Amino acid sequence: MKYIDEYRDAGVAKGIAQAVRARVTRPWVLMEICGGQTHTIMRYGLDEMLPPEIELVHGPGCPVCVAPLEIIDKALAIAARPGVIFVSYGDMLRVPGSHSDLFRVKAAGGDVRIAYSPMDAVRLARENPSRQVVFFGIGFETTAPANAMSVWQAKREGLRNFSLLAAHVLVPPAMRTILASPSNRVQGLIAPGHVCTVMGTREYEDLSRDFHLPIAIGGFEPVDLLESVRMLVVQLEEGRAEVENQYARSVTREGNVPAQRILEQVYEVCDQQWRGIGAIPMSGYKLRPEFAEYDADLVYGTGEITAHEPEECISALVLQGLKKPVDCAAFGTLCTPERPLGAPMVSSEGVCAAYYAYRRHDGGQDGIRRPVGNRPVREVL
């Protein structure tokens, strides 16, 4: 497909990796934020194409992974109610809450449905006027405008049987928390290209200036990510700290203004809990008071539900780039995609799921760690 295939060209990818090797003189730690980028890195073995000086650590950019336990418990409570059609993106169904997950609620008789788009949930509300339809609206800035549009559309149509359980998270405040931590190791950042397609690049200019941090706005294909790494290495070696736009075919400095407008109309910025990380001030969206009748948390009175994270899951450290999934004692044993302890093992974008699928290692009798993932490194390039 156009704009995909050419960015998977092995010759171009090797050329960029070679350019990185030629430029690097010392160790650098780079973080990609988005889970989609993490999966590309693992799937294509990009980290293994790069020289050993470059360490890639993985950020918190998986909304399913950072959705707090309490929002899952709220979803479960609402989905179990008779008369409710609970609609969610597919990724959320196996995410464990405190005692259950949406699949189990569905198996027990709950009407839980998977949607491709939030507008599918609006259509369901239109077609089922005697039922209450609740959409589980999770996501970063990329997804928030579409979820906001579902509420805006429901209000415009006068639908009284639609509401949104919102769990929106924002990238820049989370990155500030990670970068300001005394244990931070990140020296360069690959910013999430599709978040920036919506929001533009200004917030990342502030981050770069405040933390003297090189940032490359990166795409999602192997060539995009290797080129983002090369841009960061050149900046670091030259002592520069700027925002460079590798994903210029999709990202402008201003971002998508109509999408930003609907965000402003429907949401206001609020403090937000992040699974594993805790509360981060002004790092989420909630519905504005004028949309209160579409706020499922208010409609179903689930505001009092709170929850505690399981202690054996180290996702907090993994999502901040401080540990790798293979550093977790539960990885691949107590915690697998079939029986996940934490959300990063569930989501198709979760970092633990990426390591499990593409980079599981067996110790072997000789103690040498070998990849036993289902996609041999570089074969797919």
Partner 1 sequence: MCLAVPGKVLESREVGPNRIAKVGFGGVTRQVYLDFVPEAEVGDYVLVHVGFAIGKIDEEEARRTYELLEEMGAILEADEDAEGAQA
What is the rounded CA–CA span in Å between residue 123 and residue 145?
Answer: 17
36 vs 276, which CB is nearer to partner 1?
36
65 vs 80, which CB is nearer to partner 1?
65
Using CB under 8 A as the binding rule, whether residue 172 contacts partner 1 is answered as no
229 vs 330, which CB is nearer to partner 1?
229
Q: In what order do the strands lie in the sheet containing 111-114?
A: 111-114, 84-88, 132-139, 162-169, 278-287, 267-274
Cα distances from 202 to residues 146, 199, 255, 319, in angstroms, run: 22, 8, 9, 24
Q: Helix and strand tally (H, E) in the chain?
A: 16, 13
Cα distances from 107 to residues 79, 80, 84, 113, 340, in angstroms, run: 12, 10, 15, 12, 18
In this structure, are residues 56 and 41 in contact, taking their beta carbons and an 8 Å threshold? yes
What minimum distance in Å lies between the beta carbon of 284 and partner 1? Answer: 15
From residue 319 to residue 358, what is the string marking binding to partner 1 with x (rule CB under 8 A)? ----------------------------x-x---------
The first and second tokens of residue 257, run together, are 């203004």
Report the Cα–Cα distance between both ends of the chain, in Å, rounded: 15
80 vs 95, which CB is nearer to partner 1?
95
116 vs 366, which CB is nearer to partner 1?
116
DSSP state letter for 97: -
What is the rounded CA–CA span in Å between residue 71 and residue 365?
Answer: 44
| Binding residues with partner 1: total (CB under 8 A) | 57
187 vs 272, which CB is nearer to partner 1?
272
330 vs 350, which CB is nearer to partner 1?
350
DSSP state letter for 221: S
What is the rounded CA–CA span in Å between residue 185 and residue 58?
Answer: 11
In this structure, are residues 343 and 67 in contact, taking their beta carbons and an 8 Å threshold? yes
What minimum distance in Å lies between the beta carbon of 367 and partner 1? Answer: 34
38 vs 161, which CB is nearer to partner 1?
38
From residue 231 to residue 270, what is the string marking binding to partner 1 with x (rule CB under 8 A)? ---------------x-xxxx----x-xx--x--------
Binding test (CB under 8 A) with partner 1, winner from 47, 48, 120, 309: 120
Closest CA to 19 of 47, 51, 44: 51
Binding test (CB under 8 A) with partner 1, winner from 61, 218, 340, 342: 61
287-320 burial code (b ≥16 CB/10 A, e <16): bbeebeebbbbbbbebeebebebeeebbbbbbbb
Residue 300 phi/psi, 5-degree rounding, is -100, 5
Binding test (CB under 8 A) with partner 1, winner from 9, 47, 48, 53: 9
The first and second tokens of residue 374, run together, are 């289902």
199 vs 335, which CB is nearer to partner 1?
199
What minimum distance in Å lies between the beta carbon of 311 and partner 1? Answer: 26
Contact region for partner 1 (CB under 8 A) — 112-120, 179-187, 295-303, 323-331? 112-120
Place of tokens 């959705």: 67
Using CB under 8 A as the binding rule, whether residue 273 contacts partner 1 is answered as no
- CA 317, 321, 323 angle in degrees (round to 5)? 55
Binding test (CB under 8 A) with partner 1, winner from 24, 30, 31, 34: 34
4 vs 329, which CB is nearer to partner 1?
4
What minimum distance in Å lies between the beta carbon of 294 and partner 1? Answer: 17
What is the rounded CA–CA span in Å between residue 58 and residue 247?
Answer: 19
Binding to partner 1 in span 198-227, by CB under 8 A: 198, 220, 223, 227
Using CB under 8 A as the binding rule, whether residue 139 contacts partner 1 is answered as yes
Give the count of beta carbons closer than 10 Å to the beta carbon of residue 248: 11
User: For residue 310, what are the β-bridge partners?
Assistant: none
Question: Which residues are at the interface with partner 1 (CB under 8 A)?
Answer: 1-4, 6, 9, 11-16, 18-19, 34-36, 61-64, 89, 91, 116-120, 138-140, 142-143, 145-146, 149, 153, 156, 192, 194-195, 197-198, 220, 223, 227, 246, 248-251, 256, 258-259, 262, 347, 349
